[in-house]
Chains A and B, each alone.
Chain A
């Protein structure tokens, strides 16, 4: 079973991602900010990351920059969940190695389509 790490400071969004992905047969690990996300990535073998941008402690951008430093995660697909007001950060995220974006609000089907495309 492939495991997805969902990093979001919004518990409701994490829950929605979890329900959608578990329903499609993926394992899901949760983290509430970038720092927790980094620890969770180190402790688990993760196939894909779904992360928010705006978070306390360590934001999504800092998180993927730190993650790309870890050998095991150099090439891991990273999906960003953004809102329309995140345009400037979106450019920075792209430069830091984001693979895909989904703009909130999105439906479970949209998320599943992207995840399946990236890790099957």
Chain B
């Protein structure tokens, strides 16, 4: 046995997470079993306490929130519903990833979350969008940043997102999570670009909207970013598109079916007008939004396109290579996509 407390903690946490997983699986069958609830609580309590001792601050913070949920179950204020167990199993696997490969670049990703979720929130509504594609098809979408301008012609036409705008794509050190943003109205002017843009149907300056409310937004964070899409592997997306703020939770249903649970957010202290603006913009991004429906429709097309004609067959197209590190920070990069598949392959031992 190693004498280093940090190494001892890693092993201990791995054992505790295994005990936690077993307790959660048993709770699915015996939701009223108090011993199981206590086991889950104690495992999380120790991970929190010991994790904080040895510098695993993010881990300890997360375990604290998780533990609080089980404390409520323990006190009889809540019960171990199937929904709770499902979320808890997800959270358990997240904790395991955090211990096995601590996320050194998470501050950048965390900054993206804090940039948006900066004040007390209120939930404006929630709903579920079901689509006929694999969950991994959906993961390609927010990582494939150039699809925004090809697929979502509304964005290009009305200038909400264009390739020439200032933008960035930030990945964590392991390529699991990605944070992408673009700033409206920063289109770089160049003769080349103007010439090319003139040939694009979507850049016709004569296109006008009858109702321009969908284009009006307030730069409420004061940094000019009108679009931020932040994706945490394996199941979470946080977006700010103009004034629409929402989280999307991706839940696989079968190899060819997935659910997206949308939760639309605003801030507790905002004026009613701002809430109306956010709700109006769900016509663009939201379970029945123009842009979001294009996303799921294209996921379904990609799934059908890659399925192959016979049983167990699949097709793929290798585009710009397999390199995980090149691609820079512009929107025109496959880097995030390649890192997603690499993460998945490594995790699944493929």
Contact = CB atoms under 8 A, between A and B. Distances in A.
Interface of A: 9-13, 15-16, 19, 52, 54-56, 81, 83, 85, 104-106
A28 B174 CA distance: 41
B52 A105 contact: yes
A83 B49 contact: yes
A79 to B, nearest CB: 15
A53 to B, nearest CB: 9
B53 interface: yes
Given A19-B5, A85-B64, A85-B71, A13 B53 contact: yes
Contacts of A52: 49
Given A12-B8, A85-B67, A104 B49 contact: yes
A11 B16 CA distance: 12
Given A15-B3, A16-B54, A104-B52, 17 more contacts: A10-B12, A10-B46, A10-B49, A11-B8, A12-B5, A12-B50, A13-B5, A13-B50, A15-B8, A19-B5, A54-B45, A54-B46, A85-B64, A104-B53, A105-B49, A105-B52, A105-B53
Contacts of B64: 85
B48 interface: yes
B90 interface: no
8 contacts: A10-B12, A10-B46, A11-B12, A12-B5, A54-B42, A85-B71, A104-B50, A105-B53
Contacts of A85: 45, 64, 67-68, 71
Contacts of B68: 85
B9 A12 contact: yes
Interface string B34-64: 0000000010011011101110000010001
Interface of B: 3, 5-6, 8-9, 12, 42, 45-46, 48-50, 52-54, 60, 64, 67-68, 71
A106 B5 CA distance: 14
Contacts of A19: 3, 5
Nearest to A54: B45
A15 B50 CA distance: 11
A13 B42 contact: no
Contacts of A55: 42
- The 5 A-B residue pairs whose C-beta atoms are closest, nearest first, are A12-B9, A105-B52, A12-B8, A16-B5, A10-B50
A9 B46 contact: yes
Nearest to A84: B64
A13 B49 contact: yes
A109 B67 CA distance: 28
Contacts of A11: 8, 12
Nearest to B71: A85
A89 to B, nearest CB: 11
Nearest to A10: B50
Q: Which of A54, A81, A83 is most buried by chain B, counting CB atoms within 10 A of its CB?
A: A83
Given A85-B67, A85-B68, A12 B45 contact: no
Q: Which of B12, B42, B49 is most buried by chain A, counting CB atoms within 10 A of its CB?
A: B49
A110 to B, nearest CB: 11
A12 B53 contact: yes
Nearest to B8: A12
Nearest to A17: B5
